[in-house]
Amino acid sequence: MKKPSIKPRLSSAPFHSPMWIYLNNKFVKDEDAVISVFDHGFLYGDGVYETLRSYGPHIFMQDQHLSRLFRSAEAIGLTIPISMKSLADILQEAMIRNEVGTDQRDAYLRITVSRGAGDIGLDPALCSSPTVVVMAKPLVHPASHLYETGVQVIVASTKRNLPSALSPQIKSTNFLNNIQAKREAIAAGAFDSILLNWEQHLTECTISNVFLVLNGTLRTPALECGLLDGITRMIVIQLARELDIHTDEGRYTVDDLFKADECFLTNTSMEIMPVTSVNRRAVGDGKPGPLTLKLREQFPAMRGRYGNMLHTR
């Protein structure tokens, strides 16, 4: 009896069919995009990835995302068998084939590079060549009302991995630490979880960086706390400085978060998301704050000024 095919799903939202996926030197339909059960990315989470988005046909901060992908790969001794320029071309073709990255439909893009197929065992030398996957689908924007009301988050009991065990600057496909924290958020009916480090300092959420406003200063956990140096995080810090908003990267506790007047999250796909509740306690007056709204308002202009970091086909 023929076994039913299982198609990968990138989010809870359906994508239009057929979906074309780049897999090891060629584009194939999603139903044909299969990898070996001996792939070390599947067996051990041995790989790296990067997610990007487009604004219309423009891929935002493409060079920065691709550079980070290559840095992550280098950090785990993984050689990506495609040049950065070729990957950029593949991203463009993926958008064209999947009819995304248009004026009507922003694109969500993901690049995954695993160690590749090899015999069972942890030795990377068992794998002859990496597996490279590039996907493009319509970007699913957060519901607009969330930007108006803000979201609820919790502080997870799951702690962030020690940087000395695994550098947070490596975007690894081994995401179990984040998944455990996300499970906590789902169980609590929250949008996401904030993870603490080994010293009980704030780090980041499962897929975003955290900012808070305390005593008139925009504050975000320092990289030394054990968090990813997010590209949108970097842009927001730069934007705040251009707007003469005092900023500080430091070590902050849950008590600081509870005392904060404002809080928001940042990542590539959602940009700046207001947080109005932490552990069911209101942040400030329980509404998105003025500084959060100001940064959200100015963010599109910041994208425009950094036009050299936008790439189009």
20-138, CATH topology level: D-amino Acid Aminotransferase; Chain A, domain 1 (3.30.470)
The domain ranges of the chain are 20-138, 144-304
The order of strands in the sheet holding 131-138 is 26-29, 20-23, 131-138, 107-114, 47-55, 58-60, 310-311
Q: What is the pLDDT of residues 126-145, one digit of tens each?
A: 999 999 999 999 999 999 99
pTM for the complete prediction? 0.90
Residue 308 — pLDDT band, cuts 50, 70, 90?
Answer: very low
In this prediction, residue 254 has a pLDDT band, given cuts at 50, 70 and 90, of very high
Model pLDDT for residues 23-77, shown as the tens digit of each residue: 999 999 999 999 999 999 999 999 999 999 999 999 999 999 999 999 999 999 9
- What per-residue confidence (pLDDT) applies to 3? 38
Distances 265 to 8, 157, 223 between C-alpha atoms, Å: 28, 19, 16
Residue 9 has pLDDT above 80, yes or no: no
Residue 13 predicted with pLDDT over 50 = no
Share of the chain above pLDDT 70, in %: 92
Q: Spelled out in words, what is the top-level CATH class assigned to the domain 144-304?
A: alpha beta
The SS3 call for residue 107 is strand
H-helix segments, the chain: 40-44, 62-75, 84-97, 144-149, 176-187, 231-242, 254-259, 290-305
Q: Is the pLDDT of residue 86 over 70?
A: yes
| Whether pLDDT at 98 is above 70 | yes
Catalytic residues: 171
Q: Is the pLDDT of residue 293 over 90?
A: yes
